[in-house]
Amino acid sequence: MIFTTKAEYGVRLLVELGRHGVGQPVPLKALAEGESLPLGYLEHVVALLRKAELVESTRGARGGYRLAREPATITMDEVVLALEGSIAPMDCFVGEAESRISCSHLDDHGSGCATKYLWTKVQASVVSSLRTTTLADLVLFSAPRDSGRIQRELTPSLTN
């Protein structure tokens, strides 16, 4: 499953806001510099996040953006949906083929694409992972203090 830079930059922007907490607004320029992201593109991304009510904006000299809710209540599935519009591994899951695997069985007249079962399971797993990952998890994971310990706690063991 391939997500666009909107999702990548949007999540990074939210993590940076999460590091600042829910309090004072942070100028978008400072967020862009903090994550080395292009300011012009972030303006588009933050507009989508604002429309989804994930961030709030304040105008003026001390203006900027802040989280609309506590990081522990913001899940990554709602973030990706706000930025990508859908979470689909193939274009037959949604009506758009942008940056997705192209399905060659669109006109199978209900006979059942043999691989659709696989892609449905993949989609369900991705959505489940996004739904159970909060912004607070990502902020904690990105914390510089004892990041090795935090990474071990948040990353499931692959040896089991």
Q: Is residue 122 part of a domain?
A: yes
Does some domain include residue 31? yes
What six digits make up the tokens of 35? 């994550």
pLDDT at 29: 93
Sign of CA dihedral 100, 31, 56, 19: positive
Per-residue pLDDT tens for 21-46?
Answer: 777 899 999 999 988 899 999 999 99
Band of the pLDDT at 64, cuts 50, 70, 90? Answer: very high
Residue 70 inside a domain? The answer is: yes
The answer to whether residue 115 scores a pLDDT higher than 80 is no
User: Residue 83: phi, psi to the nearest 5?
Assistant: -95, -35
Residue at 134 is within a domain: yes
Residue 159 domain-assigned (yes or no): no
With 80 as the cut, is the pLDDT of residue 77 above it? yes
Q: How many domains does the chain have?
A: 1
In a domain, 30, yes or no: yes
Query: Is residue 160 included in any domain, yes or no?
Result: no
Domain for residue 143, yes or no? yes
pTM score, two decimals?
Answer: 0.75
Q: What is the mean pLDDT of residues 115-126?
A: 80
What is the CATH classification number for the domain harbouring 109? 1.10.10.10
Alpha-carbon gap, residue 30 to 63, rounded angstroms: 11
Range of the domain at 102: 5-154
